[in-house]
Structure 1
């Protein structure tokens, strides 16, 4: 059994490795060693996260996917969460989250079959609950943000997020050079929607 730690933050301005010490202490307290770390700055509302799926590809049956909180793993919509759960189940990976006590038994050995099946069922239920709560929190924050922007616009105080001129100029330069979109995203950290918008801008000015 290998323990594989997954750390995520939503933007490049946030520290995705913030929880490293907590995860190390959790594993050490149970006599476990974290064999590999997977770190990325991607929204938990996105199913397409390269490091998360690299972790799953690396996993062998019985490996542990260790996260600080369930929302580091998922802020997904229900259908995307079912897709991710199916991938985890297919690889027979055990999810352990520091904020999900029912998952901690996966890091211990020696449980009999009946006990393990009971904890498995309890953990699956609680994992679903926390994933749903994480998604609701995401939706609530987005709604409050939209309401705030709407009020600011109505009052004439909203001008939108300022453009990152230096970064966008570099992206346009890479587009002109014919670099693949995946390479540009990896180098710049921009979203695909931003890349698409800049590609349209480049086409219009060509």
Structure 2
């Protein structure tokens, strides 16, 4: 089978330079997004074009600078890699100088390890952030300047779901509550509350429609 290569590049903004990721050889089609990594791959302009060309059998080999170019979190990275696997597309990560898929189309064990490691790092960052927030609250309380939420204050379901948009997205992806809690660093009871509010909101929308 003829190898039809493409290189995918993503930088976070129009101001950010992409030269570090651009080393394109002849006969390699370039797809470049200047967009936030929070946007899912399939919703990015160049990402959508690349996926369409893959479906049309124009591309079967994709070069990326690193795995984290594919998604905002471990789940998104894994989902996009699974899509490439399903469409029989090889993926080459330049930062580790290796192809991510085996000859039989399964994921390389080292690639899987890297994705799991990225997930662990993300979890540690979330825990560190929560710890800093708690320390900040303790200091504010000691100085008598921490007010907290006003007694009796409530948050609408819409605002609550917006606040926990990461949980909502993962619920829609079909992940279990335990898995979502682990990936987001949020308490299981919070994840469950989001699930209940989301189901309630969806039910109301269906009734109103």
TM-score w.r.t. length of structure 1? 0.52
**Please, which of 65, 68, 74 is the counterpart of residue 68 of structure 1?**
65
Tell me, in whole angstroms, the C-alpha distance in 2 between the residues paired with 1:45 and 1:193. 16
Question: Using the alignment, how far apart are the partners of 2:40 and 2:68 within structure 1?
Answer: 12
Distance 1:124 1:37 in 2: 24
Match of 1:35 in 2: 29
Task: Give the direction of change, closer, same or farther, for the CA distance of 1:130–1:52 in structure 2 (3 Å limit).
Answer: farther
Q: How far apart, in 2, do the equivalents of 1:154 and 1:18 lie?
A: 44
Distance of aligned partners of 1:49 and 1:153 in 2 relative to their CA distance in 1, 3 Å threshold? farther
Note the C-alpha offset of 1:41: 2.7
* 1:45–1:75 Cα contact (<8 Å) kept: yes
CA distance in 2, matches of 1:45, 1:150: 29
Q: Distance in 2 between matches of 1:147 and 1:48?
A: 34
Give the one of 74, 78, 88 matched to 1:92: 88
SS of structure 1 residue aligned to 2:98: helix
Shift of 1:133: 1.2
CA RMSD in angstroms, aligned pairs only: 3.9
Shift of 1:61: 6.7
Cα contact 1:38–1:55 (8 A) shared by 2: no
Q: Which runs of 5+ in 1 are unaligned?
A: 107-115, 160-191, 197-206
Measured at CA, do residues 16 and 94 of structure 1 come closer, stay the same or move farther in structure 2, by a change above 3 Å?
farther
Match of 1:2 in 2: 4
The residue that corresponds to 1:176 in the other structure is: none
Task: Answer yes or no: is 1:58 the counterpart of 2:42.
Answer: no
- Find the partner of 1:127 among 108, 111, 114: 111
Aligned partners of 2:39 and 2:72 also within 8 Å: yes
Q: CA deviation at 1:95?
A: 0.4
Residue 63 of structure 1, CA deviation = 2.2
Residues of 2 paired with 1:148 and 1:96: CA distance?
A: 37
The whole-number CA distance in structure 1 between the counterparts of 2:137 and 2:14 is: 26
In the alignment, the residues of structure 2 paired with residue 138 and residue 152 of structure 1 have an alpha-carbon distance, to the nearest angstrom, of 21
Q: Distance in 2 between matches of 1:193 and 1:43?
A: 18
Q: Is the 8 A contact 1:46 1:76 kept in 2?
A: no
- Select the structure with the greater relative contact order (CA < 8 A; seq sep ≥ 6): 1
Structure 2: 5+ residue runs without aligned partners? 147-160, 166-209
Name the CA shift for 1:145/1:42 in 2 (closer, same or farther; >3 Å). same
- The offset of 1:193, in angstroms, is 4.1
